[in-house]
Amino acid sequence: MGDVKVNTVLGPISPEEMGVTLPHEHICYGYPGWEGDQTIAPLDHDTIVANGVATLQQLKALGLNTYIDATPLDGGRQPEILKEVSEKSGVNIICATGYYFEGEGATAYWKFRGSLGDISGELYELFLKEVTVGIRDTGIKAGVLKVASSKGIITDYEKLMFQAAAKVQQETGIPIITHTQEGTMGPDQAKLLIDAGADPKKIQIGHMSDNLDINYQLDTLKNGVYVSWDRMGLQGLVGCPMDEQRYAVMTELIKKGYADKMLISHDFIITWLGRPLNLPEEAFPLIANWHPTHLFKNIIPALKQGGATDEQIKAITVDNPRRLFSGE
């Protein structure tokens, strides 16, 4: 394990240097199509940096060391900006390569190429180069592979992404993190990745916070993967349940002995690309805690009240992220 390196946007660190880690967040994010709206809402570099640095400094004061930016390459990923935010905040940032799910990603390019022939080799080449050489000409290497599936199905398009990511992981050891849609396909994603050659110890199944059925959790966990409760604070939107209900299931999982397989994050977006969101007023109280400080201010105290020990909290916030990268 001594020679395993984690790619941050500032260069390699050892897994032991990751410390307290938020495993699924975003510095900035835009749904595909935001690029075309830049006459009205151009990318505002200075605001993204200022907001990112302010939030990461707040988190650093609460003990955070590492922030995994799960933005896929069709979500407006900005590696150079992430690098600047990391330099100015002193927090490690790990960025991703990979694509979002078919319904909400930028799929036209690959689907057209796919209609003309097999694209598996091309996806593999892209993901491999972004983790071993760098993204475009930035020299910044992606540190995680991001894949995503639709509600109730992993489409053929998405399967190609999963298989390419599994192959790159086999060769490089880079962890795979996923997006599940509305609490579906967690166990299926785990099986698909493992069948394609991925190491379960290096798989983080995402948005497990969106399905409170204990059997769904256990079916996913029995594959040996991490379950990432990473939409905490996001309630009542995009199919998300309430945190109070989530705490009960998290506590049950901890009591069943799964603290060493759980991760916690918020999927928070510090700055939206494109125009600001017009959220309905009813949503404000529901997402009042949707912020990456929520873990420190509310979630850890709630889990402790449910009986979680300091050691279990450390497993979830420090040891599990480290093991995801080291493969321990």
Nearest distance, CB of residue 137 and Zn ion, angstroms: 26
Interface pattern 141-180 for Zn ion (x via CB under 5 A): ----------------------------------------
Dist CA 9 CA 313 (whole Å)? 27
The residue (of 269 and 308) whose beta carbon lies closer to Zn ion is 269
- Could you tell me which residues come within 8 angstroms of residue 270 by beta carbon, excluding any fewer than 6 positions away? 25, 26, 27, 28, 48, 51, 52, 55
In terms of CB distance, is 119 or 193 closer to Zn ion? 193
Give CA–CA dist 165/170, Å, rounded: 9
Interatomic CA distance for residues 319 and 325, integer angstroms? 10
Q: How far is the CB of 26 from Zn ion (least distance, A)?
A: 6
In whole angstroms, the minimum distance from the beta carbon of 1 to Zn ion comes to 28
Q: Which residues, numbered 244-273, are part of the site for Zn ion (CB under 5 A)?
A: 267
**Pick 123 or 144: Cβ nearer Zn ion:** 144
# of chain residues touching Zn ion (CB under 5 A): 2
Q: What is the closest distance, in whole angstroms, from the C-beta atom of residue 118 to Zn ion in the complex? A: 29
Q: Return the residue nearest Zn ion (CB atom).
A: 267
CB of residue 45 to Zn ion, shortest distance in Å: 21
What are the φ/ψ torsions at residue 10 (nearest 5 degrees)? Answer: -100, 5
Nearest to 95 by CA among 13, 8, 195, 167: 8
Pick the closer one to Zn ion by CB: 243 or 267.
267
Closer of 71 and 317 to Zn ion (Cβ): 71
Say which DSSP state 135 is in. S
Site for Zn ion in 46-85 (CB under 5 A): 70
**227-247 burial code (b ≥16 CB/10 A, e <16):** bbbbbbbbbeeeebbebeebb
CA distance 293 to 289: 8
Query: What residues line the site for Zn ion (CB under 5 A)?
Result: 70, 267
